[in-house]
Amino acid sequence: MTTGRIISAAAMLAVSVTGAAFAQSESNQVAAETDWVVFEGADPKECWAVTAPKETVNTRNGSEVAVRRGDILMFVTYRPGQSIAGEVSFTGGYPFAEGSSATLEVGGSTFELFTDGEYAWPASPAEDQKIVTAIKRGADAVITARSARGTQTKDSFSLLGATAMIEEAEKRCAP
């Protein structure tokens, strides 16, 4: 994972959205379809398609537990000034266990996401593109990860509207 990926996610969240309503930053919202929304930032120019989970399940020692989590979001980002096109990222709303990875399942394919702090990404732009292709073909995505406190999380995302919103973000901000 590169430092650019960490900075990219931090910058997105600084301007970005909250939970399922995405209400905090409506002035940056430029499109929405079903379960996905597109936001556009101007300085630096960036666009991101984003969604919140439809369901979250948190377990510890095999039992479901109630935990406090911050924003849980999956992004596909375009930053033309940094030649970033279709970067996939995830924030789980908590610090991930150090040295752990998250697993993304989409349409029968499984991808590993590397974690750092509260963020997770694929290892390379080539892996990003494989995931974006799977997202466009899939109906749902599930991300499983482990928090620094040992909680296992399973977040399920709808992919309804993903293709249109990813293509909208790309159109607005392709490098």
Domains of the chain: 3-173 (2.60.40.1880)
Residues 150-175: what's their mean pLDDT? 94
Model confidence, pTM: 0.84
Count CB-CB contacts under 10 A for residue 55: 11
Residue with the bigger pLDDT between 87 and 11: it is 87
Q: Are the C-beta atoms of 106 and 135 separated by less than 8 Å?
A: yes
Residues 115, 146 contacting (CB under 8 angstroms): no
Local structure of residue 97 (DSSP, 8 states): P
Question: Residue 20: pLDDT above 90?
Answer: no
